[in-house]
Amino acid sequence: MTDSRDGGDDQADADARRPRSVYGVGTDPDVRFSLANERTALAWVRTGLSLVAGGVALTTLAAIADLPWLLDVIAVVACLSGGALAASALYSWRRAERALRENRPLPAPAALPWVVGGVVVLGLVLASYAVFELVGDLR
């Protein structure tokens, strides 16, 4: 059904698409669904990139000003979790694309609770650190 409405020039080599673990199963879904899945993965990649950017910016700042060690730790964690988020974007793209091809319900977003939890923990840690510093200054 989708082969006839594709109308493009790339349907002859449809079998050569990689990865085979995704394109080897099921049938092609609506093109728009695949494209939306791709955009979701790219949005996750950009989220990971901004985490890496925050880590790099924090490291640069720590090299210029003499910042406490806590910020270095946060920079390392931000860079590593940004990379992990990019990897998880690829993983969840494959999972969602396979579910689309096999006409199954979409899996729940696996990375979302981790990202939310990380942001909450980061906010709490930084807020308590700021309070700690404030109390130390006042005393």
Partner 1 sequence: MRRDPGLQPERTALAWQRTALSTALIALLLAFACLRGGFLIGTAIAGLVAVGAGASLFAVRRRAARGQKVPPWTPLTRMAVLLIVTAVVGATLALLFLF
Applying CB under 8 A, the residues found at the interface with partner 1 are 7-8, 31-32, 35-36, 38-39, 42-43, 45-46, 49-50, 52-53, 56-57, 59-60, 63
What is the smallest separation between the CB atom of 117 and partner 1, expressed in angstroms? 24
What is the smallest separation between the CB atom of 8 and partner 1, expressed in angstroms? 6
Segment 20-25 long-range contacts (CB within 8 Å, at least 24 positions apart): 21/94, 21/98, 22/94, 22/97, 22/98, 22/101, 23/101, 25/98, 25/101, 25/102
66 vs 137, which CB is nearer to partner 1?
Answer: 66
42 vs 119, which CB is nearer to partner 1?
Answer: 42
45 vs 98, which CB is nearer to partner 1?
Answer: 45
138: exposed, middle or buried (Cβ count in 10 Å: 0-12, 13-18, 19+)? exposed
Using CA atoms of 37, 43, 45, 50 in order, give the dihedral in degrees to the nearest 10: -170
State the Cα–Cα distance between residues 139 and 118, nearest whole angstrom.
32
What is the smallest separation between the CB atom of 32 and partner 1, expressed in angstroms? 5
What is the smallest separation between the CB atom of 53 and partner 1, expressed in angstroms? 5
State the Cα–Cα distance between residues 63 and 6, nearest whole angstrom.
54
60 vs 128, which CB is nearer to partner 1?
Answer: 60
75 vs 101, which CB is nearer to partner 1?
Answer: 75
